[in-house]
């Protein structure tokens, strides 16, 4: 006896205005009597504070209260009856937005972060009375913003110009780096559609010490309002290498980062929480010291690193 959910879309992406459709597939060697087959959808923002910048008490308190977007909306697909033996497919469809009553919350897009999880689930439940355990299974589906709700303004093509030199660094540098100097210039878009890559370019103009690597770290910044304190945690989502080794000077290198799905979402600044993104450009210089610290967090300032942090606003476009 098994039960399975299959959504109509392979990528499982639905917009709030759309119907979530699919099939319930029941496989059984004998016929099953039941008291009704029900589909339930749930959507919530789960907030959790783990270590990092949170204090001991917050850690102990642990989970902040989850924010419900969609509370257990239930639809009966079949009234009580019998499912014959063999494989049975039961189609279902339900809207997730309730037009009459106001929604509890905005339909935030699905996001899987470190401390913040925005998740939508669909659950099927076949109850079989008190004597038998009810059959049920759950599946996640992904919500993206409605096209109608999206801002029509185009993503600003403007790029932020950045300079990275020994003088822009606030942390101590290797002496020969400090004295010899270096200069890396570039530009990058700071507003970006989720469906497009982050783009820009970068040029090494000078460097006293050979460069070992230039990497671009995509950071997510998750903030949670915990009591009166805002707990913020930064973590690296994706690293993209731009230059491997001591590249030729004065050659333009492109910045091209495809944004990972699920791990990114439109920048959200809600009351109880916020999800923001940043890009850190890290230049690693060749150094004997660096080899001893190869496992440290790449965005921590070190003597042999130069970095520049740029904000990145992610938006969903039509």
Partner 1 sequence: MEFRPRNYIAEKEAHALPRVRADDHPLSAPSSLTHRQVEVVDHGDMGYLDPLRRSDNNAAVSIEDLEVIESNSVVGVSGEATMLNPSKEWVSFKRSLMQRFPVSKTVLTSSISDVMVKGRKTYDKSSTNMHLEELEDPEKFAEEGGKVITGQEYVSRLHELKVEINHAWHADDRVTSLKLSIKVAKLLMDTSILQCYPTLFAHATDIMDMLGDMVWERIKLKAELAEDGTKFCWLPENFVASDICSNAKETCNNWFSKIGAIRELLPRIYLELALLPCWRYLRDRPLDCLQRLVMMTRGLADPLASAYCRLYMAHCIRKLHSHDIGCLLTCVNDFKILLMRVISTTETTHGNLTGQKRLLISLMEPTIDYIMKCIFKNVSERQVGSVLMELGLGSNQVELRGKFPCVAIVLHHLLKQIPSQVVISSAMEIVHLIESSNDDSFDQCLNYRLLGFRLCERRSEMETVNAVVDKVIQVITHYEGLDEYLKVVDAYVDILLQNHMDDHLNSILEGILSRACSQGIAEDELATLQSILVKFLSYYEDLEDIIAMTPFLKILDLMYGSSQSIVNMHILDMGIRNGYIHDSNQPARLISSFVSLVDYGSEMESHLTFLVECRAAFGSIHWLKETLVRSSNCLAIKALKDGNRHISFIKSCIAFSEVTLPSISAQTKQLNLYLETAEVALFGGLVSHSDGLIDSAINSLQILEVMDGPRTPVDADGVLSSIQKLFSLLVMVPGNPEHGITYYPKNLVSLVNSQSWMTPRMRVKIFCAVVSLLAALSQRDLPYHADKEKVLGNGLLFFGHPSYLHELALMCKFVLQNLVDTIQQEPSMAARGIMALEACNCIASSFIPSQEISSICSNLIETGKSCMSTSHPYLQSTIKFMDHLVHSSVAV
User: Interface with partner 1 by CB under 8 A: which residues?
Assistant: 10-11, 197, 201, 211, 214-215, 238-248, 251-254, 256-261, 294-295
C-beta closer to partner 1: residue 6 or 106? 6
Nearest approach in angstroms of CB 197 to partner 1 is: 7
Q: Is 175 helix (H, G, I), strand (E, B) or coil?
A: helix
Nearest approach in angstroms of CB 241 to partner 1 is: 4
C-beta closer to partner 1: residue 29 or 294? 294
Find, among 107, 104, 161, 121, the residue nearest to 5 by Cα. Answer: 121
Burial group, residue 141, by CB count within 10 angstroms (0-12, 13-18, 19+)? buried
C-beta closer to partner 1: residue 57 or 206? 206
Find, among 306, 110, 313, 276, the residue nearest to 204 by Cα. Answer: 306
Nearest approach in angstroms of CB 298 to partner 1 is: 10
Give the Cα separation of 278 and 139 in Å (integer). 31
Token pair belonging to 77: 């697909």
Distances (CA, A) of 151 to 102, 147, 193, 194: 21, 9, 11, 13
C-beta closer to partner 1: residue 46 or 212? 212
C-beta closer to partner 1: residue 28 or 212? 212
- Supply φ then ψ for residue 292, to 5 degrees: -75, -20
C-beta closer to partner 1: residue 126 or 200? 200
Q: Is 258 helix (H, G, I), strand (E, B) or coil?
A: coil
Those residues whose C-beta lies under 8 Å from the C-beta of residue 89, and which sit 6 or more positions away, are 23, 24, 25
Give the Cα separation of 82 and 139 in Å (integer). 24
Nearest approach in angstroms of CB 25 to partner 1 is: 15
């Amino acid at each position: 006896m098994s039960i399975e959910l299959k959504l109509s879309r392979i990528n499982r992406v639905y917009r709030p205005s759309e119907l979530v459709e699919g099939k319930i597939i029941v496989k059984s060697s004998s016929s099953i009597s039941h008291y009704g087959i029900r589909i339930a959808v749930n959507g919530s923002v789960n907030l959790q504070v783990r270590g990092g910048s949170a204090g001991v008490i917050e850690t102990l308190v642990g989970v902040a209260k989850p924010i419900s977007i969609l509370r257990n909306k239930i639809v009966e697909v079949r009234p009580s009856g019998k499912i014959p033996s063999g494989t049975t497919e039961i189609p279902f469809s339900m809207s997730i937005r309730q037009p009459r009553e106001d929604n509890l919350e905005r339909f935030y897009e699905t996001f899987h972060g470190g401390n913040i999880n925005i998740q939508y689930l669909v659950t099927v439940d076949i109850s079989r009375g008190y004597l038998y355990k009810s059959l049920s299974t759950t599946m996640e589906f992904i919500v993206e913003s409605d096209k109608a709700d999206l801002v029509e303004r185009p993503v600003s093509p403007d790029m932020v110009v950045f300079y990275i030199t020994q003088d822009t660094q606030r942390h101590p540098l290797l002496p020969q780096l400090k004295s010899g100097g270096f200069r890396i210039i570039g530009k990058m878009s700071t507003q970006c559609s989720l469906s497009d890559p982050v783009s820009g370019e970068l040029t090494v103009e000078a460097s006293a010490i050979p460069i070992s690597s230039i990497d671009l770290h995509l950071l997510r910044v998750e903030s949670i309002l915990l009591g009166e304190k805002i707990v913020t945690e930064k973590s690296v989502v994706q690293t993209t290498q731009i230059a491997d080794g001591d590249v030729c000077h004065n050659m333009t290198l492109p910045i091209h980062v495809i944004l990972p799905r699920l791990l990114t979402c439109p920048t959200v600044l809600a009351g109880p929480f916020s999800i923001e993104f940043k890009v850190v450009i890290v230049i690693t210089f060749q150094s004997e010291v660096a080899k001893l610290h190869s496992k440290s967090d790449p965005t921590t300032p070190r003597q042999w690193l130069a970095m520049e942090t740029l904000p990145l606003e992610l938006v969903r476009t039509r």
